[in-house]
Structure 1
Amino acid sequence: MSQRSDERIPGTGRDTAGAVGPTGRPVRDFPEPPELTEHGPARIIAMVNQKGGVGKTTSTINLGAALAELGRKVLLVDFDPQGALSAGLGANPHELELTVYNVMMDRSVDVWDVVQETEVEGVDLLPANIDLSAAEVQLVTEVAREQVLASALRKVEEHYDVIIIDCQPSLGLLTVNALTAAHGVIIPLIAEFFALRAVALLVDSIEKVQDRLNPRLQIDGVLATMFDSRTLHSREVMARIVDAFGEKVFDTVIKRTVKFPDATVAAEPILSFATAHQGAESYRQLARELISRGGAP
Protein backbone atom coordinates (compact mmCIF):
# COMPACT_ATOMS: atom_id res chain seq x y z
CA MET A 1 0.00 0.00 0.00
CA SER A 2 1.49 3.33 -1.00
CA GLN A 3 1.93 6.09 1.58
CA ARG A 4 0.97 9.65 0.81
CA SER A 5 3.95 11.96 0.98
CA ASP A 6 2.30 14.22 3.54
CA GLU A 7 1.60 11.46 6.07
CA ARG A 8 3.88 10.72 8.95
CA ILE A 9 6.71 8.32 8.29
CA PRO A 10 7.42 6.44 11.54
CA GLY A 11 10.67 7.39 13.20
CA THR A 12 11.11 10.69 11.39
CA GLY A 13 9.39 13.05 13.83
CA ARG A 14 7.33 14.47 10.95
CA ASP A 15 3.84 15.74 11.75
CA THR A 16 0.92 13.60 10.61
CA ALA A 17 -1.09 15.53 8.04
CA GLY A 18 -4.36 16.72 9.51
CA ALA A 19 -4.11 14.70 12.72
CA VAL A 20 -4.44 16.63 15.96
CA GLY A 21 -3.50 15.15 19.33
CA PRO A 22 -5.20 15.65 22.72
CA THR A 23 -3.14 18.79 23.34
CA GLY A 24 -4.61 20.43 20.20
CA ARG A 25 -1.25 20.28 18.42
CA PRO A 26 -0.37 18.18 15.36
CA VAL A 27 0.54 14.62 16.26
CA ARG A 28 4.29 14.02 16.15
CA ASP A 29 6.18 10.77 16.02
CA PHE A 30 9.21 10.57 18.31
CA PRO A 31 11.91 8.29 16.93
CA GLU A 32 13.77 5.57 18.78
CA PRO A 33 16.83 7.25 20.31
CA PRO A 34 20.32 5.95 19.56
CA GLU A 35 21.81 3.40 21.92
CA LEU A 36 24.18 4.67 24.59
CA THR A 37 27.78 3.53 24.35
CA GLU A 38 28.47 4.38 27.99
CA HIS A 39 26.46 5.20 31.10
CA GLY A 40 26.37 8.24 33.39
CA PRO A 41 26.45 10.79 34.73
CA ALA A 42 22.74 10.77 35.43
CA ARG A 43 20.28 13.49 34.66
CA ILE A 44 18.14 13.85 37.79
CA ILE A 45 14.41 14.47 37.38
CA ALA A 46 11.97 15.34 40.18
CA MET A 47 8.38 14.17 39.66
CA VAL A 48 6.54 16.88 41.60
CA ASN A 49 3.04 18.08 42.34
CA GLN A 50 1.84 19.09 45.79
CA LYS A 51 -1.58 17.64 44.98
CA GLY A 52 -2.01 13.93 45.60
CA GLY A 53 -3.63 11.48 43.22
CA VAL A 54 -2.27 12.98 40.01
CA GLY A 55 -0.21 9.99 38.88
CA LYS A 56 3.27 10.85 40.21
CA THR A 57 4.14 7.34 41.34
CA THR A 58 2.52 5.63 38.35
CA SER A 59 4.43 7.94 36.03
CA THR A 60 7.72 7.43 37.89
CA ILE A 61 7.47 3.64 37.65
CA ASN A 62 6.37 3.50 34.04
CA LEU A 63 8.61 6.25 32.68
CA GLY A 64 11.53 4.56 34.44
CA ALA A 65 10.63 1.20 32.90
CA ALA A 66 10.21 2.78 29.45
CA LEU A 67 13.62 4.47 29.67
CA ALA A 68 15.14 1.15 30.72
CA GLU A 69 13.58 -0.49 27.64
CA LEU A 70 15.54 2.06 25.60
CA GLY A 71 18.78 0.90 27.21
CA ARG A 72 19.04 3.58 29.89
CA LYS A 73 20.18 2.68 33.40
CA VAL A 74 17.60 4.09 35.78
CA LEU A 75 17.43 4.71 39.53
CA LEU A 76 14.01 5.46 41.02
CA VAL A 77 14.10 7.30 44.35
CA ASP A 78 11.09 6.92 46.63
CA PHE A 79 10.87 10.26 48.41
CA ASP A 80 7.42 9.86 49.90
CA PRO A 81 6.97 8.50 53.45
CA GLN A 82 3.95 6.54 52.21
CA GLY A 83 6.37 4.28 50.30
CA ALA A 84 4.03 3.84 47.34
CA LEU A 85 6.85 3.68 44.81
CA SER A 86 8.66 1.02 46.83
CA ALA A 87 5.48 -1.03 47.15
CA GLY A 88 4.73 -0.56 43.47
CA LEU A 89 8.06 -2.18 42.62
CA GLY A 90 7.56 -5.16 44.92
CA ALA A 91 9.29 -3.97 48.11
CA ASN A 92 7.50 -4.10 51.45
CA PRO A 93 8.06 -0.67 53.05
CA HIS A 94 7.31 -2.04 56.53
CA GLU A 95 10.12 -4.62 56.30
CA LEU A 96 12.87 -2.28 55.12
CA GLU A 97 15.74 -1.90 57.56
CA LEU A 98 17.51 0.80 55.56
CA THR A 99 15.90 3.44 53.37
CA VAL A 100 16.64 6.80 51.81
CA TYR A 101 16.02 8.26 55.28
CA ASN A 102 19.08 6.46 56.66
CA VAL A 103 21.20 7.58 53.71
CA MET A 104 20.26 11.21 54.36
CA MET A 105 20.39 11.30 58.14
CA ASP A 106 23.15 8.81 59.05
CA ARG A 107 26.53 9.53 57.49
CA SER A 108 27.72 6.01 58.29
CA VAL A 109 25.14 4.49 55.91
CA ASP A 110 26.42 4.09 52.36
CA VAL A 111 23.83 4.66 49.64
CA TRP A 112 24.92 1.47 47.86
CA ASP A 113 23.87 -0.51 50.94
CA VAL A 114 20.32 0.74 50.42
CA VAL A 115 19.88 0.67 46.63
CA GLN A 116 17.93 -2.42 45.53
CA GLU A 117 17.64 -4.15 42.19
CA THR A 118 14.05 -4.52 41.00
CA GLU A 119 12.34 -7.11 38.82
CA VAL A 120 12.48 -4.55 35.99
CA GLU A 121 15.72 -4.98 34.07
CA GLY A 122 17.78 -1.79 34.14
CA VAL A 123 15.79 -0.22 36.99
CA ASP A 124 17.06 0.08 40.58
CA LEU A 125 15.22 1.45 43.61
CA LEU A 126 16.22 3.66 46.53
CA PRO A 127 13.29 2.81 48.81
CA ALA A 128 11.42 4.73 51.52
CA ASN A 129 8.95 4.12 54.29
CA ILE A 130 7.26 6.06 57.09
CA ASP A 131 10.67 6.79 58.69
CA LEU A 132 11.15 9.47 56.05
CA SER A 133 8.43 11.59 57.67
CA ALA A 134 10.83 12.28 60.56
CA ALA A 135 13.38 13.79 58.17
CA GLU A 136 11.18 16.84 57.57
CA VAL A 137 11.62 17.84 61.22
CA GLN A 138 15.22 16.70 61.64
CA LEU A 139 16.46 18.50 58.54
CA VAL A 140 15.54 21.86 60.04
CA THR A 141 18.66 21.82 62.19
CA GLU A 142 21.01 20.40 59.53
CA VAL A 143 23.73 22.47 57.87
CA ALA A 144 22.82 23.03 54.18
CA ARG A 145 19.53 21.31 54.92
CA GLU A 146 18.20 21.76 51.36
CA GLN A 147 21.15 19.91 49.84
CA VAL A 148 21.17 16.67 51.84
CA LEU A 149 19.55 14.55 49.11
CA ALA A 150 21.83 16.02 46.43
CA SER A 151 24.82 15.03 48.52
CA ALA A 152 23.45 11.50 48.98
CA LEU A 153 22.87 11.00 45.25
CA ARG A 154 26.32 12.26 44.31
CA LYS A 155 27.80 8.82 45.05
CA VAL A 156 25.53 7.02 42.57
CA GLU A 157 24.86 9.47 39.76
CA GLU A 158 27.87 8.36 37.71
CA HIS A 159 26.40 4.85 37.58
CA TYR A 160 23.02 5.78 36.05
CA ASP A 161 21.71 7.65 33.02
CA VAL A 162 18.50 8.87 34.66
CA ILE A 163 17.48 9.27 38.30
CA ILE A 164 13.79 9.99 38.92
CA ILE A 165 12.68 11.22 42.35
CA ASP A 166 9.07 10.46 43.25
CA CYS A 167 8.14 13.32 45.61
CA GLN A 168 5.47 13.43 48.30
CA PRO A 169 2.36 15.60 47.73
CA SER A 170 3.74 18.59 49.61
CA LEU A 171 5.93 21.65 49.08
CA GLY A 172 7.87 21.09 52.31
CA LEU A 173 11.55 20.60 52.97
CA LEU A 174 11.69 17.13 51.40
CA THR A 175 10.36 18.45 48.11
CA VAL A 176 12.79 21.37 48.26
CA ASN A 177 15.58 18.79 48.69
CA ALA A 178 14.38 16.99 45.57
CA LEU A 179 14.25 20.21 43.57
CA THR A 180 17.71 21.20 44.76
CA ALA A 181 19.11 17.82 43.67
CA ALA A 182 17.37 17.80 40.28
CA HIS A 183 18.26 19.06 36.83
CA GLY A 184 14.66 18.97 35.67
CA VAL A 185 11.07 18.76 36.87
CA ILE A 186 8.16 16.84 35.42
CA ILE A 187 4.77 18.03 36.67
CA PRO A 188 2.06 15.35 36.35
CA LEU A 189 -1.25 17.14 36.16
CA ILE A 190 -4.65 15.48 36.22
CA ALA A 191 -7.05 16.97 33.71
CA GLU A 192 -9.37 18.58 36.29
CA PHE A 193 -9.87 22.24 37.15
CA PHE A 194 -8.98 21.92 40.84
CA ALA A 195 -5.63 20.35 39.97
CA LEU A 196 -4.84 23.13 37.52
CA ARG A 197 -5.50 25.88 40.09
CA ALA A 198 -2.87 24.48 42.46
CA VAL A 199 -0.03 24.48 39.94
CA ALA A 200 0.68 28.22 40.20
CA LEU A 201 1.97 27.70 43.75
CA LEU A 202 4.19 24.84 42.58
CA VAL A 203 5.68 26.90 39.76
CA ASP A 204 6.37 29.70 42.23
CA SER A 205 8.24 27.25 44.48
CA ILE A 206 10.26 25.95 41.53
CA GLU A 207 11.24 29.51 40.59
CA LYS A 208 12.34 30.25 44.16
CA VAL A 209 14.56 27.14 44.17
CA GLN A 210 15.99 28.23 40.81
CA ASP A 211 16.81 31.68 42.19
CA ARG A 212 18.18 30.69 45.59
CA LEU A 213 19.44 27.10 45.49
CA ASN A 214 19.66 25.48 42.08
CA PRO A 215 20.09 27.73 39.02
CA ARG A 216 20.34 24.72 36.67
CA LEU A 217 16.81 23.56 37.51
CA GLN A 218 14.28 23.69 34.68
CA ILE A 219 10.78 22.45 33.98
CA ASP A 220 11.17 19.54 31.57
CA GLY A 221 7.48 19.30 30.94
CA VAL A 222 3.91 19.15 32.16
CA LEU A 223 2.37 15.70 31.79
CA ALA A 224 -1.42 15.50 31.50
CA THR A 225 -2.69 12.35 33.23
CA MET A 226 -6.03 10.57 33.67
CA PHE A 227 -7.28 12.27 30.52
CA ASP A 228 -10.68 11.25 29.18
CA SER A 229 -11.25 12.60 25.68
CA ARG A 230 -14.95 11.69 25.89
CA THR A 231 -15.67 14.41 28.44
CA LEU A 232 -15.93 18.10 27.69
CA HIS A 233 -14.42 18.84 31.10
CA SER A 234 -11.16 17.01 30.28
CA ARG A 235 -10.90 18.69 26.89
CA GLU A 236 -11.50 22.14 28.38
CA VAL A 237 -8.90 21.61 31.11
CA MET A 238 -6.40 20.36 28.52
CA ALA A 239 -6.90 23.58 26.57
CA ARG A 240 -6.27 25.59 29.76
CA ILE A 241 -3.10 23.60 30.48
CA VAL A 242 -1.75 24.29 26.99
CA ASP A 243 -2.67 27.98 27.29
CA ALA A 244 -0.80 28.20 30.59
CA PHE A 245 2.33 26.18 29.75
CA GLY A 246 2.57 26.18 25.96
CA GLU A 247 5.36 24.00 24.60
CA LYS A 248 6.20 22.80 28.12
CA VAL A 249 3.18 20.48 27.84
CA PHE A 250 4.24 17.04 26.63
CA ASP A 251 2.55 15.87 23.44
CA THR A 252 2.20 12.54 25.22
CA VAL A 253 -1.01 12.37 27.26
CA ILE A 254 -1.78 9.56 29.70
CA LYS A 255 -5.37 8.45 29.36
CA ARG A 256 -7.49 7.07 32.17
CA THR A 257 -7.62 3.26 32.27
CA VAL A 258 -8.26 0.52 34.85
CA LYS A 259 -5.05 -1.19 33.73
CA PHE A 260 -2.93 1.20 35.84
CA PRO A 261 -4.41 0.18 39.22
CA ASP A 262 -4.35 -3.45 38.05
CA ALA A 263 -0.62 -3.16 37.35
CA THR A 264 -0.11 -1.50 40.74
CA VAL A 265 -1.75 -4.45 42.50
CA ALA A 266 0.56 -6.77 40.55
CA ALA A 267 3.55 -4.62 41.68
CA GLU A 268 4.90 -4.15 38.17
CA PRO A 269 4.92 -1.50 35.45
CA ILE A 270 2.12 -1.55 32.91
CA LEU A 271 4.84 -2.05 30.30
CA SER A 272 5.29 -5.65 31.48
CA PHE A 273 1.82 -6.21 32.97
CA ALA A 274 -0.02 -5.30 29.74
CA THR A 275 2.79 -4.72 27.30
CA ALA A 276 0.65 -3.97 24.23
CA HIS A 277 -1.88 -1.79 26.09
CA GLN A 278 -2.33 1.84 25.07
CA GLY A 279 -1.13 2.95 28.52
CA ALA A 280 2.16 1.10 28.04
CA GLU A 281 2.60 2.61 24.58
CA SER A 282 1.93 6.08 26.02
CA TYR A 283 4.80 5.77 28.50
CA ARG A 284 7.08 4.44 25.77
CA GLN A 285 6.21 7.54 23.74
CA LEU A 286 6.82 9.74 26.79
CA ALA A 287 10.30 8.25 27.19
CA ARG A 288 11.12 8.93 23.54
CA GLU A 289 9.69 12.45 23.79
CA LEU A 290 11.65 13.21 26.96
CA ILE A 291 14.89 12.11 25.28
CA SER A 292 14.09 14.07 22.13
CA ARG A 293 13.51 17.19 24.26
CA GLY A 294 16.90 16.73 25.95
CA GLY A 295 15.35 15.74 29.27
CA ALA A 296 17.20 12.41 29.35
CA PRO A 297 20.36 11.11 27.61
Structure 2
Amino acid sequence: MAEPAQPDNPSQPDNPSQPAKLAVTNQKGGVGKTAVAINVAGALNERGRDVLFVDLDPQGNATENLGMRELYDSDPPTLFDVLTEPDKRETIVDLVESHPEMDVVPSSIDMTAVEPELTLSRRSGEQLHLCLQYVADDYDYIIVDCPPFLGNLMDNALFATRNVLIPALAEDTSKRAFELLFDHVDSLAADYEIAVNERGVVVNRIDVRKTQANEMIDWVNNAFEGTPVWEVRERAAIQRALKNGGSIFVEEPECDQLDVFSSIATNLDEQFGFAEVTA
Protein backbone atom coordinates (compact mmCIF):
# COMPACT_ATOMS: atom_id res chain seq x y z
CA MET A 1 0.00 0.00 0.00
CA ALA A 2 1.33 3.42 -0.89
CA GLU A 3 2.26 5.69 1.99
CA PRO A 4 0.11 8.85 2.16
CA ALA A 5 1.93 11.85 0.78
CA GLN A 6 2.17 15.08 2.67
CA PRO A 7 -0.12 17.80 1.29
CA ASP A 8 2.65 19.81 -0.39
CA ASN A 9 1.10 20.95 -3.65
CA PRO A 10 3.96 21.76 -6.08
CA SER A 11 1.51 23.35 -8.52
CA GLN A 12 0.20 26.24 -6.49
CA PRO A 13 -1.22 28.84 -8.86
CA ASP A 14 0.39 31.75 -7.06
CA ASN A 15 3.92 30.35 -7.25
CA PRO A 16 5.26 30.52 -10.82
CA SER A 17 8.74 29.66 -9.52
CA GLN A 18 7.43 26.11 -9.80
CA PRO A 19 6.21 24.94 -13.17
CA ALA A 20 2.45 24.84 -13.50
CA LYS A 21 1.46 21.21 -13.96
CA LEU A 22 -1.73 20.17 -15.70
CA ALA A 23 -3.24 16.77 -16.46
CA VAL A 24 -5.46 16.70 -19.55
CA THR A 25 -7.74 13.86 -18.64
CA ASN A 26 -11.00 12.05 -19.17
CA GLN A 27 -11.44 8.35 -18.54
CA LYS A 28 -13.74 8.18 -21.58
CA GLY A 29 -11.94 7.55 -24.86
CA GLY A 30 -12.63 9.30 -28.13
CA VAL A 31 -13.11 12.79 -26.68
CA GLY A 32 -10.18 14.37 -28.54
CA LYS A 33 -8.09 14.53 -25.38
CA THR A 34 -4.74 14.47 -27.19
CA ALA A 35 -5.84 17.15 -29.66
CA VAL A 36 -6.81 19.41 -26.78
CA ALA A 37 -3.55 18.73 -24.92
CA ILE A 38 -1.37 19.46 -27.96
CA ASN A 39 -3.25 22.61 -28.91
CA VAL A 40 -3.22 23.95 -25.36
CA ALA A 41 0.53 23.36 -25.30
CA GLY A 42 0.80 25.12 -28.66
CA ALA A 43 -1.21 28.07 -27.35
CA LEU A 44 1.03 28.35 -24.28
CA ASN A 45 4.06 28.27 -26.55
CA GLU A 46 2.54 31.15 -28.52
CA ARG A 47 2.42 33.08 -25.26
CA GLY A 48 6.13 32.54 -24.77
CA ARG A 49 5.87 29.77 -22.20
CA ASP A 50 8.36 26.90 -22.06
CA VAL A 51 6.30 23.70 -22.12
CA LEU A 52 7.18 20.09 -21.40
CA PHE A 53 4.62 17.67 -22.84
CA VAL A 54 4.49 14.22 -21.22
CA ASP A 55 2.74 11.50 -23.20
CA LEU A 56 1.54 9.19 -20.43
CA ASP A 57 -0.86 7.29 -22.70
CA PRO A 58 0.42 3.80 -23.61
CA GLN A 59 -1.27 4.20 -27.02
CA GLY A 60 1.27 6.91 -27.84
CA ASN A 61 -1.11 9.04 -29.89
CA ALA A 62 0.52 12.30 -28.82
CA THR A 63 3.96 10.90 -29.57
CA GLU A 64 2.82 10.07 -33.09
CA ASN A 65 0.89 13.32 -33.54
CA LEU A 66 3.99 15.31 -32.62
CA GLY A 67 6.00 13.60 -35.35
CA MET A 68 7.87 11.15 -33.14
CA ARG A 69 6.34 7.86 -34.21
CA GLU A 70 9.74 6.13 -34.40
CA LEU A 71 10.39 6.86 -30.73
CA TYR A 72 7.36 4.80 -29.73
CA ASP A 73 9.42 1.72 -30.62
CA SER A 74 12.60 2.91 -28.89
CA ASP A 75 14.87 0.53 -27.03
CA PRO A 76 15.10 0.90 -23.23
CA PRO A 77 15.39 2.99 -21.24
CA THR A 78 11.98 4.47 -21.99
CA LEU A 79 9.28 6.15 -19.93
CA PHE A 80 8.35 2.66 -18.73
CA ASP A 81 11.78 2.21 -17.13
CA VAL A 82 11.77 5.70 -15.62
CA LEU A 83 8.43 5.03 -13.93
CA THR A 84 9.14 1.50 -12.72
CA GLU A 85 12.83 1.51 -11.72
CA PRO A 86 13.72 4.02 -8.99
CA ASP A 87 17.42 4.06 -9.92
CA LYS A 88 16.49 5.26 -13.42
CA ARG A 89 14.21 8.18 -12.49
CA GLU A 90 16.78 10.82 -13.35
CA THR A 91 17.23 9.38 -16.84
CA ILE A 92 13.99 11.12 -17.73
CA VAL A 93 16.34 13.97 -18.68
CA ASP A 94 17.66 11.80 -21.51
CA LEU A 95 14.17 11.02 -22.79
CA VAL A 96 13.23 14.65 -23.45
CA GLU A 97 12.92 15.34 -27.16
CA SER A 98 12.82 18.73 -28.86
CA HIS A 99 9.79 19.84 -30.89
CA PRO A 100 9.37 23.30 -32.46
CA GLU A 101 6.55 24.11 -30.04
CA MET A 102 7.44 22.19 -26.90
CA ASP A 103 9.74 19.60 -25.40
CA VAL A 104 8.30 16.08 -25.29
CA VAL A 105 8.69 13.00 -23.13
CA PRO A 106 7.39 10.37 -25.57
CA SER A 107 5.43 7.28 -24.73
CA SER A 108 6.60 3.86 -25.84
CA ILE A 109 5.19 0.45 -26.60
CA ASP A 110 6.62 -0.74 -23.27
CA MET A 111 4.07 1.44 -21.51
CA THR A 112 1.37 -1.09 -22.37
CA ALA A 113 2.81 -3.21 -19.55
CA VAL A 114 3.27 -0.46 -16.96
CA GLU A 115 0.01 -0.80 -14.98
CA PRO A 116 0.84 -4.10 -13.21
CA GLU A 117 4.42 -2.96 -12.63
CA LEU A 118 3.22 0.19 -10.89
CA THR A 119 0.85 -1.87 -8.76
CA LEU A 120 3.89 -3.61 -7.29
CA SER A 121 5.63 -0.32 -6.54
CA ARG A 122 5.79 0.84 -2.93
CA ARG A 123 4.78 4.37 -3.97
CA SER A 124 2.67 3.40 -6.95
CA GLY A 125 0.91 6.73 -7.46
CA GLU A 126 3.94 8.96 -6.92
CA GLN A 127 6.42 7.76 -9.52
CA LEU A 128 5.76 10.44 -12.15
CA HIS A 129 6.01 13.17 -9.50
CA LEU A 130 9.39 11.81 -8.39
CA CYS A 131 10.66 11.67 -11.98
CA LEU A 132 9.49 15.15 -12.96
CA GLN A 133 11.57 16.69 -10.19
CA TYR A 134 14.62 16.15 -12.41
CA VAL A 135 13.27 18.32 -15.24
CA ALA A 136 10.78 20.70 -13.63
CA ASP A 137 13.12 23.66 -13.27
CA ASP A 138 13.45 24.04 -17.04
CA TYR A 139 9.78 24.75 -17.77
CA ASP A 140 6.89 27.09 -17.12
CA TYR A 141 4.32 24.37 -17.75
CA ILE A 142 4.25 20.59 -17.69
CA ILE A 143 1.29 19.18 -19.63
CA VAL A 144 0.49 15.51 -19.06
CA ASP A 145 -1.63 13.73 -21.66
CA CYS A 146 -3.39 10.99 -19.69
CA PRO A 147 -4.58 7.56 -20.80
CA PRO A 148 -8.34 7.12 -21.35
CA PHE A 149 -8.84 4.83 -18.37
CA LEU A 150 -8.70 4.92 -14.59
CA GLY A 151 -5.71 3.23 -13.01
CA ASN A 152 -2.16 3.71 -11.81
CA LEU A 153 -1.14 5.98 -14.68
CA MET A 154 -4.10 8.24 -14.03
CA ASP A 155 -3.19 8.30 -10.33
CA ASN A 156 0.37 9.27 -11.21
CA ALA A 157 -0.81 12.11 -13.43
CA LEU A 158 -3.21 13.44 -10.79
CA PHE A 159 -0.69 13.23 -7.96
CA ALA A 160 2.09 14.82 -10.01
CA THR A 161 0.02 17.71 -11.35
CA ARG A 162 -2.79 18.32 -8.80
CA ASN A 163 -4.63 20.14 -11.62
CA VAL A 164 -6.98 18.86 -14.32
CA LEU A 165 -8.27 20.15 -17.63
CA ILE A 166 -11.13 17.96 -18.82
CA PRO A 167 -12.04 17.50 -22.49
CA ALA A 168 -15.54 16.12 -23.06
CA LEU A 169 -17.88 15.51 -25.95
CA ALA A 170 -21.16 17.37 -26.29
CA GLU A 171 -23.24 14.22 -25.77
CA ASP A 172 -25.13 12.59 -22.91
CA THR A 173 -22.48 9.90 -22.34
CA SER A 174 -20.19 12.62 -20.98
CA LYS A 175 -22.34 12.95 -17.86
CA ARG A 176 -21.46 9.45 -16.70
CA ALA A 177 -17.81 9.99 -17.66
CA PHE A 178 -17.66 13.09 -15.47
CA GLU A 179 -19.17 11.15 -12.57
CA LEU A 180 -16.64 8.32 -12.83
CA LEU A 181 -13.72 10.71 -13.19
CA PHE A 182 -14.65 12.82 -10.19
CA ASP A 183 -15.30 9.76 -8.04
CA HIS A 184 -11.78 8.64 -8.85
CA VAL A 185 -10.27 12.08 -8.27
CA ASP A 186 -12.03 12.43 -4.91
CA SER A 187 -10.85 9.00 -3.81
CA LEU A 188 -7.24 9.67 -4.76
CA ALA A 189 -7.28 13.12 -3.16
CA ALA A 190 -8.54 11.60 0.08
CA ASP A 191 -6.02 8.74 0.02
CA TYR A 192 -3.04 11.04 -0.56
CA GLU A 193 -4.37 14.02 1.41
CA ILE A 194 -3.98 16.42 -1.50
CA ALA A 195 -6.20 18.84 -3.38
CA VAL A 196 -6.82 18.34 -7.09
CA ASN A 197 -8.04 21.50 -8.78
CA GLU A 198 -10.40 21.72 -11.75
CA ARG A 199 -8.84 24.24 -14.13
CA GLY A 200 -11.49 24.01 -16.81
CA VAL A 201 -13.65 21.90 -19.10
CA VAL A 202 -13.25 21.83 -22.87
CA VAL A 203 -16.43 20.77 -24.66
CA ASN A 204 -14.78 19.37 -27.74
CA ARG A 205 -15.66 18.44 -31.32
CA ILE A 206 -18.97 20.28 -31.20
CA ASP A 207 -21.39 19.93 -34.09
CA VAL A 208 -23.76 22.85 -33.53
CA ARG A 209 -26.28 21.36 -35.95
CA LYS A 210 -27.14 18.71 -33.35
CA THR A 211 -29.73 19.57 -30.73
CA GLN A 212 -28.09 17.24 -28.21
CA ALA A 213 -24.80 19.14 -28.55
CA ASN A 214 -26.39 22.44 -27.61
CA GLU A 215 -28.26 20.85 -24.72
CA MET A 216 -25.05 19.30 -23.42
CA ILE A 217 -23.20 22.62 -23.61
CA ASP A 218 -25.93 24.15 -21.44
CA TRP A 219 -25.67 21.24 -19.00
CA VAL A 220 -21.90 21.58 -18.68
CA ASN A 221 -22.10 25.31 -18.07
CA ASN A 222 -24.67 24.75 -15.33
CA ALA A 223 -22.86 21.78 -13.78
CA PHE A 224 -19.50 23.55 -13.73
CA GLU A 225 -20.62 26.96 -12.57
CA GLY A 226 -17.53 28.84 -11.43
CA THR A 227 -15.20 26.69 -13.56
CA PRO A 228 -14.08 27.94 -16.99
CA VAL A 229 -15.81 26.14 -19.86
CA TRP A 230 -14.60 26.43 -23.45
CA GLU A 231 -16.27 25.25 -26.64
CA VAL A 232 -14.23 23.79 -29.50
CA ARG A 233 -16.09 23.10 -32.72
CA GLU A 234 -15.40 20.12 -34.95
CA ARG A 235 -12.84 21.16 -37.54
CA ALA A 236 -10.90 19.11 -40.08
CA ALA A 237 -8.04 21.58 -39.66
CA ILE A 238 -7.40 20.32 -36.12
CA GLN A 239 -6.94 16.77 -37.38
CA ARG A 240 -4.79 17.94 -40.29
CA ALA A 241 -2.50 19.76 -37.89
CA LEU A 242 -2.03 16.62 -35.79
CA LYS A 243 -1.34 14.56 -38.90
CA ASN A 244 1.33 17.08 -39.85
CA GLY A 245 2.99 16.93 -36.45
CA GLY A 246 1.94 19.99 -34.49
CA SER A 247 -0.74 22.30 -33.16
CA ILE A 248 -3.04 24.46 -35.24
CA PHE A 249 -0.93 27.48 -34.27
CA VAL A 250 1.86 26.22 -36.52
CA GLU A 251 0.21 23.82 -38.94
CA GLU A 252 -3.21 25.47 -39.48
CA PRO A 253 -2.89 29.14 -38.47
CA GLU A 254 -6.07 30.09 -40.37
CA CYS A 255 -8.24 27.74 -38.28
CA ASP A 256 -11.10 29.61 -36.62
CA GLN A 257 -10.57 27.72 -33.35
CA LEU A 258 -7.25 29.42 -32.56
CA ASP A 259 -9.03 31.99 -30.43
CA VAL A 260 -10.52 29.29 -28.22
CA PHE A 261 -7.16 27.72 -27.44
CA SER A 262 -5.59 31.15 -26.99
CA SER A 263 -8.32 31.89 -24.45
CA ILE A 264 -7.52 28.66 -22.59
CA ALA A 265 -3.83 29.55 -22.44
CA THR A 266 -4.55 33.10 -21.27
CA ASN A 267 -6.88 31.83 -18.56
CA LEU A 268 -4.36 29.23 -17.38
CA ASP A 269 -1.70 31.93 -17.10
CA GLU A 270 -4.10 33.93 -14.96
CA GLN A 271 -4.99 30.95 -12.78
CA PHE A 272 -1.37 29.97 -12.25
CA GLY A 273 -0.24 33.52 -11.55
CA PHE A 274 2.00 34.17 -14.54
CA ALA A 275 2.68 37.75 -15.49
CA GLU A 276 1.02 39.08 -18.64
CA VAL A 277 3.04 38.54 -21.80
CA THR A 278 4.81 41.70 -22.91
CA ALA A 279 5.56 42.53 -26.55
- The interval holding the TM-score normalised by the smaller chain is 0.7 to 0.9
Equivalent residue for 2:256, pick from 261, 278, 284: 278
SS at match of 1:41: coil
Report the CA distance between 1:264 and its aligned residue: 1.6
Q: Percent identity?
A: 30
Once the two structures are superposed, what CA deviation does each residue of 1:33-68 show, in whole Å capped at 9, x if it has no partner?
xxxxxx842111111101111111001111011101
In the alignment of these two chains, the number of paired residues is 256
RMSD: 1.7
| Paired residues of 1:44 and 1:183 also in contact (CA < 8 A) | yes
* 2:236 equivalent to 1:258: yes
Report the CA distance between 1:205 and its aligned residue: 0.9
Instruction: Give the aligned partner of residue 117 of structure 1.
Output: 98
The structure whose RCO (Cα within 8 Å, separation 6+) is larger is 2
Once the two structures are superposed, what CA deviation does each residue of 1:202-236 show, in whole Å capped at 9, x if it has no partner?
01111112212151321111111111223211110
Instruction: Give the aligned partner of residue 212 of structure 2.
Output: 233
Report the CA distance between 1:96 and its aligned residue: 2.2
Letter paired with 1:111 = I
Instruction: Give the aligned partner of residue 80 of structure 2.
Output: 101
Instruction: Give the aligned partner of residue 136 of structure 1.
Output: 115
Query: Structure 1 residues 296, 180: CA separation in 2 closer, same or farther (over 3 Å shift)?
Result: farther
Segments of structure 2 that go 5 or more residues without pairing to the other structure are: 1-15
Report the CA distance between 1:279 and its aligned residue: 2.0
The within-5 A match list for 1:83-232 is 83-92=60-69, 93-97=71-75, 98-106=77-85, 107-108=87-88, 110-120=91-101, 123-232=102-211
Q: Partners in 1 of 2:122 and 2:273 — Cα distance?
A: 31
TM-score, with length taken from structure 2:
0.87
Letter paired with 2:39 = N
TM-score, with length taken from structure 1:
0.82
SS at match of 2:185: helix
Equivalent residue for 1:43, pick from 9, 14, 20: 20
Q: Partners in 1 of 2:72 and 2:161 — Cα distance?
A: 28
Letter paired with 2:239 = P
| Paired residues of 1:75 and 1:162 also in contact (CA < 8 A) | yes
| Paired residues of 2:84 and 2:121 also in contact (CA < 8 A) | no
Equivalent residue for 2:265, pick from 287, 291, 294: 287
Q: Partners in 1 of 2:36 and 2:167 — Cα distance?
A: 8
| Paired residues of 2:125 and 2:156 also in contact (CA < 8 A) | yes
Instruction: Give the aligned partner of residue 223 of structure 2.
Output: 244
Q: Partners in 2 of 1:57 and 1:132 — Cα distance?
A: 17
Equivalent residue for 1:63, pick from 19, 33, 40: 40
Segments of structure 1 that go 5 or more residues without pairing to the other structure are: 1-38
